[in-house]
A and B are shown apart, each in its own frame.
Chain A
Amino acid sequence: AQSVAQPEDQVKVAEGNPLTVKCTYSVSGNPYLFWYVQYPNRGLQFLLKYITGDNLVKGSYGFEAEFNKSQTSFHLKKPSALVSDSALYFCAVRDLAGAGSYQLTFGKGTKLSVIP
């Protein structure tokens, strides 16, 4: 079975400071990892993905994420936070080795608040 943990329900950072939203995963095979963002009353928006290759992946709006296989982590980062980054962030994993290989398993989400 595949699972995702986002250990922080909420992260607060000051505008202009770097931000990190943590994610760890568990799969039986190789993971496909995703980050999505959800603004109030809106659907999930895709930010970035890791499939294979370079462990540092870059995505939309200046976000990036680092895949660490030994720590089974995929933390989301941004060098300088904006107030407009305040939203709910979801990490998701897909395991192509297991049954149900096209379904995404999501974490519970982390609410990011960027303080002006």
Chain B
Amino acid sequence: DTGVSQNPRHKITKRGQNVTFRCDPISEHNRLYWYRQTLGQGPEFLTYFQNEAQLEKSRLLSDRFSAERPKGSFSTLEIQRTEQGDSAMYLCASSFSATKNTEAFFGQGTRLTVV
């Protein structure tokens, strides 16, 4: 499978616990994005990497959220001290920066439930 891969697909955690999600982009893609989608809403942008550099962060990305892409390949999104409001689908996408016109390809997402 050469698409964007996200793990785990589902995560149930207790409030206050930390969670970490992983995203493996399409291999030649140097741009990587994280989005959050809640029920009945469209995806909302969280952050964006070009190679290993985090270039954009949304105001939605509170201090409890941190994302990394240490070698410009896979990325992790960590949520510390989870709250019930963090329950959502977390989507990762990647694209290739040869031109500005390329579309982003999305993974299947990680569904987080905070109980």
User: A residues engaging B (CB < 8 A)?
Assistant: 4, 32, 34, 36, 41-46, 49, 51, 90, 92, 96, 100, 102-109
Contacts and interface: CB of A to CB of B under 8 A. Distances in A.
Contacts of B4: 43
Interface of B: 4, 31, 33, 35, 40-45, 48, 55-56, 58, 91, 93, 100-101, 103-109
A104 B41 CA distance: 14
Contact of A108 (B42, B58, B93): B42
Contacts, number: 58
A100 B60 CA distance: 13
A90 B43 contact: yes
User: Which of A44, A45, A106 counts the most B-chain CB atoms under 10 A from its CB?
Assistant: A44
Contacts of A107: 42
B56 A100 contact: yes
A32 B101 contact: yes
